[in-house]
Amino acid sequence: MRRQWCLFAQWQVQAAMDSLSVRHIISATATHQGSPRRRDQASPIQRKGIHTQTGRLCFPVLSKKSDFQEKDTDTRLSQSKQRDRSSSSSSEIAMSSTAGQVIKCKAAVAWEAGKPLVIEEVEVAPPQANEVRVKILFTSLCHTDVYFWEAKGQTPLFPRIFGHEAGGIVESVGEGVTDLKLGDHVLPVFTGECKECRHCKSEESNMCDLLRINTDRGVMLNDGKTRFSINGKPIYHFVGTSTFSEYTVIHVGCLAKINPAAPLDKVCVLSCGISTGLGATLNVAKPKKGQSVAVFGLGAVGLAAAEGARIAGASRIIGVDLNPARFEEAKKFGVTEFVNPKDHDKPVQEVLAEMTDGGVDRAVECTGSIQAMISAFECVHDGWGVAVLVGVPSKDDAFKTHPMNLLNERTLKGTFFGNYKPRTDIPGVVEKYMNKELELEKFITHSVPFSEINKAFDLMLHGKSIRCIITMGA
């Protein structure tokens, strides 16, 4: 098996570099904040391409935390089917009769950068070793799909099937797949967890060596080929998920097996942006009950960070955005105060410090603006403040702050996918929704049938949607 050593590929290479130096700073200077949980601790510098594991992977069964009692799976499955008409018995028959065969189904194909997607009949080959073929029931649109579809500033890779936030059901599994089976409910994740590499074995990291996001790769790892074709012409994959297709083939390490009772039309949004923001607050910033949290950027990721602050019991959640139109929506997410940097003559970090008697306890940056990143760090209180960077900066950005800001016991961290390990942790995030601890409905502002997928792009491009659910087969 050929090893791929990309970091975040083009859009994230620089971000990764920045994060490397940020982690370097942290390990040298950060003061650890209270909780003994190992994943909170400053990580050592992440190494690129050092690990040389090759050959077949072995996937142990899921841990108790993420494995569900099999005895009541059937009941849950039928409850779920009542709730979700798309998972009808016809799909189950199709699943059992199609294993090992090529499936013809509909997919939204991007033939060219920035041109509307075209619903085509595609052939989807059976899964190979360590792969799973999944029937997608619901998918949603994220900025990353739009960014790569526009293909501005990157090497374009077309024709391609985009999509990476989704929920589906396993149709068939390839050789060596032992912990997923026909009928399992899964969320595809753009970055994987092989469970074998140093990152996967570390409690501190979720940056799997084998399955870390690679936006340049349009083929499967196993044989370097695509599983999608139209009349023999290969159609490329996107981040190993390609969920804008009724059936798709995904590496088993990029699939989180979830509670089959969870409604896939809601929990599908946990595949990417919402988990990223939520985890940035809950896993990395870790506000204590009653503390203040500033969230920079009130897009989907920032609103999810605010949701994390609400769940953690923050006393004040201060939203910072340049776009005042975001403030009204953000009230639903428990944001209590709003600051628009444009309304002030002084740097926003000074405004926040004045509002909070010296600085906020935690800040989570979800903008991608280097200025906001610096402000987010400099607005945290000395002695205990923690700032977490989530946004992906531009290629030439450099993070500049006076080292005294670190010496004065402020901590700066960065996070990728909210520090969640996709297979180990995402099933637990789904349970937070099932327990009504986490609210997902408020993120879902629109829905469209698959045949109108281009409308979802329009809504996002015009800033009208947080998340638009696309119903497959409709």
Q: How far is the CB of 391 from ligand NAD (least distance, A)?
A: 3
Of residues 105, 208, 254, 468, which has the active-site annotation?
208
Among Zn ion, ligand NAD, none, partner that 268 touches (CB below 5 to 8 angstroms by kind): none
Q: What per-residue string of b and e applies to 233-258 under the rule 16 or more CB within 10 Å gives b?
A: eebbbbbbbbbbbbbbbbbbbbbbbb
Query: Smallest Cα–Cα separation from 169: which of 99, 231, 92?
Result: 92
Among 322, 432, 434, 458, the residue binding ligand NAD under the rule CB under 6 A is: 322
How far from each other are the two terminal CA atoms of the chain, in whole angstroms? 38
Judged by CB under 6 A, does residue 189 bind ligand NAD? no
Judged by CB under 6 A, does residue 319 bind ligand NAD? no
Tokens 């601790």, residue located: 41
Judged by CB under 6 A, does residue 416 bind ligand NAD? yes
Among Zn ion, ligand NAD, none, partner that 194 touches (CB below 5 to 8 angstroms by kind): Zn ion
Tokens 């990476």, residue located: 164
Give the CB-nearest residue to ligand NAD: 299
Among 211, 285, 392, 468, the residue binding ligand NAD under the rule CB under 6 A is: 392
142 catalytic residue (yes or no): yes
Give the C-alpha separation, 366 to 376, whole Å.
10
Query: Smallest Cα–Cα separation from 114: which of 160, 151, 154?
Result: 151
Residue closer to ligand NAD, measured from CB, 253 or 297: 297
Residue closer to Zn ion, measured from CB, 140 or 214: 214
Among ligand NAD, Zn ion, none, partner that 238 touches (CB below 5 to 8 angstroms by kind): none
Residue 188 has which token pair? 């595809």
Residue closer to ligand NAD, measured from CB, 7 or 95: 7
Residue closer to ligand NAD, measured from CB, 40 or 131: 40
Give the C-alpha separation, 337 to 320, whole Å.
9
Among ligand NAD, Zn ion, none, partner that 300 touches (CB below 5 to 8 angstroms by kind): ligand NAD
Answer whether 443's CB lies under 8 Å from 329's CB: no
Judged by CB under 6 A, does residue 335 bind ligand NAD? no
Parallel, antiparallel, or unpaired for β 255-257 and 185-188?
antiparallel
Q: How far is the CB of 311 from ligand NAD (least distance, A)?
A: 18
Residue type present at position 50 = I
Task: List the alpha helices (DSSP H) in 360-415.
Answer: 370-378, 403-407
254 catalytic residue (yes or no): no
Contacts of 401 (CB under 8 A, 6+ apart): 374, 377, 378
468 catalytic residue (yes or no): no
Judged by CB under 6 A, does residue 391 bind ligand NAD? yes
Ranges within 360-389 binding ligand NAD (CB under 6 A): 366-369, 371-372
Among 244, 333, 417, 443, the residue binding ligand NAD under the rule CB under 6 A is: 417
Among Zn ion, ligand NAD, none, partner that 240 touches (CB below 5 to 8 angstroms by kind): none
* Other C-beta atoms lying within 10 Å of the C-beta of residue 231: 7
Q: How far is the CB of 392 from ligand NAD (least distance, A)?
A: 4
The angle subtended at Cα 70 by Cα 178 and Cα 268, nearest 5°, is: 75
Give the C-alpha separation, 455 to 111, whole Å.
17
Of residues 98, 139, 144, 248, which has the active-site annotation?
144
Q: How far is the CB of 332 from ligand NAD (least distance, A)?
A: 15
Judged by CB under 5 A, does residue 221 bind Zn ion? no
Beta strands in 321-429 (DSSP E): 337-339, 362-365, 386-389, 411-414
310 catalytic residue (yes or no): no
165 catalytic residue (yes or no): yes
Q: How far is the CB of 38 from ligand NAD (least distance, A)?
A: 20
Judged by CB under 6 A, does residue 390 bind ligand NAD? yes
Give the C-alpha separation, 325 to 314, whole Å.
24
CA 472, 221, 120, 180 dihedral sign is: negative
User: What Rg, from alpha-carbon coordinates, does the chain have?
Assistant: 22
Ranges within 173-202 binding Zn ion (CB under 5 A): 194, 197, 200
Judged by CB under 5 A, does residue 16 bind Zn ion? no
Judged by CB under 6 A, does residue 341 bind ligand NAD? yes
Q: Determine which helix (DSSP H) or strand (DSSP E) holds 278, and give its type and residue range.
A: helix 273-279
Parallel, antiparallel, or unpaired for β 103-109 and 118-124?
antiparallel
Among Zn ion, ligand NAD, none, partner that 366 touches (CB below 5 to 8 angstroms by kind): ligand NAD
Among ligand NAD, Zn ion, none, partner that 208 touches (CB below 5 to 8 angstroms by kind): Zn ion
**Could you tell me the CA-to-CA distances from 194 to 3, 155, 171, 213, 291 in Å, in that order?**
13, 27, 21, 12, 36
Q: Which residues bind ligand NAD (CB under 6 A)?
A: 143, 273, 276, 296-302, 320-323, 326, 341, 366-369, 371-372, 390-392, 415-417
Positions annotated as catalytic residues are: 142-144, 164-165, 194, 197, 200, 208, 212, 272, 467
Q: Which residues bind Zn ion (CB under 5 A)?
A: 194, 197, 200, 208, 210
